[in-house]
Amino acid sequence: MIICKFGGSSVADAAHVKKVKAILHEDNQRNIVIVSAPGRRFAEDEKVTDMLYKCAALVAEGKSCLPVFRKIEDRYRTIIRGLGMDETLLDEEFKTIREDISSSRGADYAASRGEYLSARLVAEYLGWKFIDTAPLIVVKSDGTPDDSSLLHLSQALSSDGRYVLPGFYGVNAEGQIKTFSRGGSDITGAIVARAAKAEAYENWTDVSGIFAADPRIVPDAHVISEMTYSEVRDLAAVGAGVFHEEAIAPVIPLNIPVIVKNTNAPKDAGTRIVPRRDTSGRPLAGVSSKKGYTRLMIHKLMLFKQPGIRHALLTLLHVFGVRPEYSTYGIDSIVWFYDNTQTTDAVAGEMVERLRQEFELDRVELTSGHAVIGIVGEAIMDVPGKFAHGIQSLDEHDIPVCGVTYGVSEVSALIVVKETHATEAVKILYETVLA
């Protein structure tokens, strides 16, 4: 059994849905499908999920969402017409959803309806059984799936059935619709793969695998033929957007391989994600960057002589909604990097004052506009010279390094630069350590 998840670009219009059908008919083991909501058809197009979030926001403001929802209806009807199906196929669903959103069911409910409608449509087109994930997948308060989801799904799916399920959502403990984070249909696919004890989980998108660097930055970047679970998680954490970092966890216990493939070029091999790989010929997998970080530097003489100081500092940061993602330590200082969106300038200023006063710090510095670049590879600890060469190359191109971590993770090393240098830094590091 092979689980297939098709992303938003793969169901964006009728032509792509026809490609989905052809791919499924190529292999009769592909008998369970998870679909996203229709994505962009062209650069200026709007994703269905974005329009649904807009509907929820309008209702929250006391305004009508009808004009936006009509666009969503038109989008699905256009797909239905292109597939030669009855144009009224989803009319009753549209009416119910429109009324539910207008009655303030909330953003999660609204956003989930894109996948729901997509799965209804694709199931009808294929002649397969539709199964709603809402009663089956339970999403915990931290946004991760509850273990009970596996039992629910395994009971609902038979080995000889053919099913279409919506991605991206489940229910919370109270039975209300709860979504995963954006891109969460990847997670749904992984949960279903584990519940079904699948031989493989194919993740179909609009590119022929995971690239060793963002091809928008490095046009000649190569596709990674094989990478490990750890590598893909670390690469996704620093901005590689093809596969959701949380979607690996469900498949790990059963060592289910994940294959990222291209709906528009199904014969391409894609990227195979596995528990382990041979690193002898290719110690490193890829490089990626993520912008939007603030640097918080704290300095005090004999700082770490104070018992529990790190915990106390982090506790205060959490009061202000700040949860650092990366850190470096000196004998008298700490540097933390956190996502800019966690605070406003006013809140950050208040946080700095509280830190200064409560801990009698010698110095507190807050600077925004940083990017974190990750160099990822299972054998990165075996090639310190490559990493050092990468740092040297940045220096030769007058790109200052604001922070480095090497040896903390066995799979990745991190370099922090200013956002204005991030694109050039990725190009240099790709050519230096990966090409």
Contact 239, 412 (CB under 8 A): no
| Residue 74 CB neighbours (<10 A) | 10
When pLDDT is averaged across residues 228-255 and rounded to a whole number, the result is 90
Kindly state the average pLDDT of the residues 31-39. 98
Separation between Cα atoms, residue 238 and residue 411, nearest integer Å:
13
Distance of CA 292 to the CA centre of its chain: 16
Grouping H, G, I as helix, E, B as strand and the rest as coil, residue 218 is coil
Domains belonging to the chain, first-starting first, are 2-206 (3.40.1160.10), 286-434 (3.30.2130.10)
- Name 35's bridge partners: 6, 166
Asked if pLDDT for residue 183 goes beyond 90, the answer is no
pTM above 0.75, yes or no: yes
pLDDT at 181 over 90: no
The Cα–Cα gap between 235 and 190 comes to 18
pLDDT digits (tens, 9 = 90+) for 348-363: 999 999 999 999 999 9
Over range 376-395, report the average pLDDT.
96
pLDDT single digits (tens) 187-207: 999 999 999 999 999 999 999
**Closest among 420, 121, 88, 245 to 113, alpha carbons compared:** 121
CA pair distance 287, 210, nearest whole angstrom:
11
One-letter amino acid for residue 76 of the chain:
Y
The average pLDDT across 268-288 equals: 96
Residue 122 has a pLDDT of 99
pLDDT > 80? residue 242: no
Instruction: Judge residue 353's burial from the number of C-beta atoms within 10 Å of its C-beta, 0-12 exposed, 13-18 middle, 19 or more buried.
Output: exposed
C-alpha 111/C-alpha 414 separation (Å) is 34
Mean local confidence (pLDDT), 337-341: 96
Split at pLDDT 50, 70, 90, the class of 241 is confident
Q: To 5 degrees, how large is the angle CA 81–CA 134–CA 5?
A: 55
N-terminal to C-terminal alpha carbon distance within the chain:
36
